[in-house]
Amino acid sequence: MEKVRLGRTHITVKKLGWGGIPIQRVSEDQAVSVVQAAVQMGVGLIDTARGYTTSERRIGLALQNITRPVILSTKSPNRTEKIFDDVQESLRQLRVNKVQIYHLHNVSKTEDYEKAMGPGGAYQGLQKARAEGLIDHLGLTSHSLDILERALQEDRFDVVMVCYSFLEPDAARRILPLARAKDVGVLAMKPFSGGVIEDAGLALRYVLSTPGIVTIPGSETEEKLRENWKVYAEGRALDKADQSRIEQIRQQFDKQFCRRCDYCQPCSQGINIQLMMGIKSVIRRFGNPDEIAWVKGVTEKARDCTECGECLPRCPYQLPIPELIKKNLEWYDSLKK
């Protein structure tokens, strides 16, 4: 089973990690059981976040009875030095004295990046946490390749987390070579493109075939966990049939799938286009929309869409944005019926 060195951190873990989003959707007993099964199976890196509601706490409960060492990666969306308080809360929830990797979470806009990296920003808060021995390494997660490129060029992070799948392959060209040159570790999130790719085995084989990265698919059941682990353990390379199927799926979603680049923004009506375009994925991953406060805000704002079309020429993938927003609203409303 192939292992990966996460750049300058010198952390070496198996190429298949595990992500903590899905365990929000199940009972606490089931969540704890899945986390323990993942570690017992051999998973060496677990990723979660302050924003994943119960995830940190449930992982902390699960690890109380685990003696095998596990690398913990978590994150906070705080853009100020008060992120130091979030680090302390993460430690309490995870029931540990130190987290190996702590990320600035989803820094995907220039103004957010500059705020986080400036005086009194979150970067300084993480530096303080590292100086006090609460974390080992600083990371950055982003859905923007532009932001990740800038961060890597400025060389201030030990690890970056990037979206990477066969529907979002551009990181292989723009991010991975630069990360290798800077000796920065790479965690690959969303190998299934947020649940859009239903063939999990095919999606994982694609990501696992890329050298030097650790992917972190989540799972809320032991069955899914074991299916993912089997793909990793078999180590089968992509064959011609796989490549053909990948091309078919790419063509199917070519004008349907939002890559979260945000080039379409700003919307004249203040609609968060990226989130509305991916609302199905959000609900699949996070669970009951009635329990996710910000989802209602996003969807209600989307009803203000005038179909003006200002976003259309900005989209590099030529997506029919107003049409897709309308369809997603209809789908969202159908859930309540």
Last residue of a domain, one of 179, 213, 239: 239
285, part of any domain: yes
Residue 284 has pLDDT above 90, yes or no: no
Last residue of a domain, one of 239, 265, 293: 239
259, part of any domain: no
Q: Are residues 203 and 122 in the same domain?
A: yes
> Model confidence at 219, in pLDDT bands (50, 70, 90)?
very high
Q: Are residues 17 and 108 in the same domain?
A: yes
Question: What stretches of the chain show up as alpha helix (H) in DSSP?
Answer: 28-41, 55-63, 83-94, 110-117, 122-131, 145-154, 171-174, 176-182, 200-208, 222-234, 240-253, 273-277, 279-286, 293-302, 321-336
Q: Are residues 228 and 318 in the same domain?
A: no
Average pLDDT over residues 27-36: 97
Average pLDDT over residues 43-70: 96
Residue-level pLDDT at 195? 87
174, part of any domain: yes
DSSP character string of 209-225: TSTT-EE--B-SSHHHH
Q: Are residues 279 and 214 in the same domain?
A: no
pLDDT in tens, 235-265: 999 999 999 999 999 999 988 888 888 889 9
Note down the domain range covering 55: 3-239
Q: Are residues 175 and 323 in the same domain?
A: no
In the chain, the number of structural domains is 2
Cβ atoms within 10 Å of 247's Cβ, excluding its own: 11
Average pLDDT over residues 295-305: 90
pLDDT in tens, 123-163: 999 999 999 999 999 999 999 999 999 999 999 999 999 99
**Gap between the Cα atoms of 334 and 318, Å rounded:** 27
The side-by-side arrangement of strands in the sheet containing 45-47 is 18-19, 45-47, 71-76, 99-104, 135-142, 159-163, 185-189, 214-215
Greater pLDDT, 254 or 101? 101
Q: Are residues 235 and 277 in the same domain?
A: no
60, part of any domain: yes
Q: What is the CATH number of the domain that holds 35?
A: 3.20.20.100
